[in-house]
Amino acid sequence: MTGRDIRVLDEQIANKIAAGEVIERPASVVKELVENALDAGATRIEIEIREGGKEYIRVTDDGAGIPADQVPLAFARHATSKIRSADDLFSVHTLGFRGEALPSIASVAQVEMRTRTAGAAGGVRYTVEAGRPGSLEPAGTPPGTTVVVRRLFFNTPARYKFLRSEAAERRRVAEVAARIALAWPAVAFRFLADGRQVFATPGDGDLAGAVLAIYGQAAGPGLVPVDYELDGLRVHGFVGRPDAVHGNRDRMSVFLNGRWIHSAALLRAIEQGYETLLPPRRYPLAVLHLTVDPAAVDVNVHPAKAEVRFKDERAVFRTVLRAVRHGLLGAGLVGAASLGRPVEGRAAPAPATRGGQSGLYPGFERPEPPSGPASGEARRPAGDHAEEPVYAPGGSRESAGTWRGSSGGAARERLHRDAYPELGTGAAAGGPARDARTLLREMNVLGQLHRTFILGETPQGLWIIDQHVAHERVLYERFLRRAARGGGSVQHLLAPVAVTFSPERSGLAEQYQEELARLGFVLEPFGGASYLVRGVPVELGPGADAARLTGVLEEVLDACDGEGGFSAHEAAASLACRAAVKAGQVLDMSRMKKLLAQLAEADNPFACPHGRPVIIELDRMDLERRFGRR
């Protein structure tokens, strides 16, 4: 076998290879083009995509433009106006300088550039397709540059196949656009998708204005300013109030010296700054700019992944945490005592207690503030109920199974599912065979434990039913049926509520309007990423505020995000979780009985949509044995 000659790759192949590294998807094209616009000193930048950016991407800026004779050069490999010599490498202040983006993009798409410098009498138009230069001709165009990228990866089918759904690609572009706009509040950004404006920032240098433009005016009253400095690290920006939380981290971003960075640790630091104010798996809005001496960081650990390494990781974590807490303290949202104390981890999640939330759950009392148990002491029900025995109603019933006091020890519980492996055929020990559903309907309801569990006496023991999970199960099945057939009752809101989705999700809202309608959401497009909510599933009740509704809807939209499209299961599960009675809510006897009766009707009363048990049983014989009665 003869050896192969070594050859220099021709430029087109080299560009394609480079494109594989730089240009992964529409979002990376947008990032490169917008960074070029920023390097050109633009003050207004418009980003437009169609079909997730797969078919069409346009970035228009009012920057310096490119002199006509240099336009073809801009598409040549390693052609850059940003560095002249290797020495310049150590003093670059621009976002790009390797001269790879334009040739890479042009090698895998159809690209058109229109550009004009400020002084020039007219502009030019230049096209490149699959790396082959087209014509350069005069064109009427305003000062600045427009780059249009059509049919990305049309000549590299393998890469095209790698792209995700339109909705998913659009989401990534929106994410990139939002991050850059939040990093550059002095530049006015406008982002359009499929002909509709998703957001437009004012570009007046005011970060709050950019945050509101992107996340909706509804976020306004909830913005808490953060400005804090410690040991040369400044943290400034905004965090959301803890009562305006979201089901995902989409609205959390951290910027380091003006650039968005990926840092799970710093997002955690932000969350810990809220101490116990955040409900479990709920995330605040947070846009924080960190300013630090560049010598204190290794920024280029991985340029493409936007990861950074700090010299003193822990100090940065602590400072961010304190900055958030300091901001919340200033807004009167956390106690002063918590400022000095290091928070080692998240304490037990507290039920949300701020006003304005209980309206979503009519008929249920607002949850009480957490009765913070002193360490080591047993937690007792707070308030009026503190003196009431756990077992009060019907207390004169004397049956062998009656439970009068807590053993205090670790009761040997059994999952009800284990006790009744076959649904509905559970035979009571020593008693007549009873259908488990009948037991649910007929049990002697003893009361509520810790405002979380319903206690019920059955002939063969004590049932402990998680009120939230039980209600969740009931509602899940209801929403699941509705997702398939529609026809649920809609609660029409007296005053429509305007909600604004994160840029990533606004497209999904449009795409899945029909599915949402079946579930009972009456939405009306209200410009950009905003919608007017005119009706909600009756289970959510009236009086919903914008922040809450946005959260509920976004969680449902997340269920639509999979490659397989809309998942009725996920949508029903998230709605059910949101609408179900919470732990911490007081239920009166009739409400408990109604809930148990509904549970008895469920297709599967024994597990929540995600598999958590609904019912746990303390076996009567077990109890008797432990008390030495057997």
When asked if residue 593 is in the footprint of ligand ADP (CB under 6 A), the reply is no
**How does DSSP classify residue 63?**
S
Pick between residue 68 and residue 483 the one whose CB is nearest to ligand ADP.
68
Which residue has its beta carbon closest to Mg ion? 96
Torsion of CA 86, 92, 94, 99, to 10 degrees: 10
From CA 602, how far away is CA 478, in angstroms rounded?
Answer: 9
Q: Is 101 a residue that touches Mg ion (CB under 5 A)? A: yes
Q: Is 96 in the site for Mg ion (CB under 5 A)?
A: yes
Least distance to ligand ADP, CB of residue 146, Å: 8
Q: State residue 489 phi and psi, 5-degree precision.
A: -80, 135
> From the list 22, 23, 30, 40, which residue makes contact with ligand ADP (rule: CB under 6 A)?
40
CA-CA distance, 482 to 485, in Å (whole number)?
A: 5
Is position 46 an interface residue for ligand ADP (rule: CB under 6 A)? no
| Segments in 248-367 forming alpha helices (H) | 264-273, 313-330
Residue 407 CA to residue 238 CA, distance in Å, equals 49
* Position 236 contacts ligand ADP (CB under 6 A): no
Say which DSSP state 582 is in: P
Pick from 15, 28, 36, 272: which binds Mg ion (CB under 5 A)? 36
By CB under 5 A, tell whether 57 contacts Mg ion: no
What b/e readout covers 215-247, taking b as 16+ CB neighbours within 10 angstroms? bbebbeebbbebebeeeebebbbbbbbbbbbbb
Q: Count CB neighbours of 197 within 10 A.
A: 14
**Binding partner selected for residue 226 from Mg ion, ligand ADP, none, CB under the kind-specific 5 to 8 Å limit:** none
Q: Residue 301 corresponds to which amino acid? A: V
Query: Is residue 203 a contact residue for Mg ion (CB under 5 A)?
Result: no
Could you tell me the smallest distance in angstroms from the CB atom of residue 541 to Mg ion?
Answer: 52
> Is residue 68 involved in binding ligand ADP (CB under 6 A)?
no
Q: Where does this chain touch ligand ADP (CB under 6 A) — which range of 29-37, 250-258, 291-299, 344-352?
A: 29-37
State how far the Cα of 408 lies from the Cα of 410, in Å rounded to an integer: 7
Site membership for Mg ion, residue 29 (CB under 5 A): no
3 state SS of 266: helix
Is residue 145 part of the contact set for ligand ADP (CB under 6 A)?
Answer: yes
Residue 254 Cβ vs ligand ADP, minimum distance, rounded to whole Å:
25
Report the residue number, 96 or 103, with the smaller CB distance to Mg ion: 96
Q: Give the CA diameter of the chain.
A: 102
Residue closest to 36 by CA, chosen among 103, 87, 122, 90: 103
CA-based angle 381:384:390, to the nearest 5? Answer: 45
Minimum distance from CB of 129 to Mg ion (Å)?
20
> Cβ closer to Mg ion: 101 or 509?
101
The region of 93-101, 419-427, 542-550, 612-620 touching ligand ADP under the rule CB under 6 A is 93-101
Asked if residue 128 binds ligand ADP (CB under 6 A), the reply is no
Q: What is the SS3 assignment for 568?
A: helix
Residues 259-288, interacting with ligand ADP (CB under 6 A): none
- Number of residues in contact with ligand ADP under rule CB under 6 A: 22
In the bound state with Mg ion, the residue whose beta carbon lies nearer, of 28 and 500, is: 28
The CA distances from residue 169 to 50, 163, 173, 502, in Å, are 10, 7, 6, 15
Considering the complex, state which of residue 62 and residue 166 has its C-beta at the smaller distance from ligand ADP.
62
Helix (H) or strand (E) holding 396: none
The interface region with Mg ion, picked from 98-106, 301-309, 316-324, 524-532 by CB under 5 A, is 98-106
- Interaction site with Mg ion (CB under 5 A): 36, 96, 101
Residues that bind ligand ADP (CB under 6 A): 32, 36-37, 40, 61, 63-66, 74, 79-82, 96-102, 145
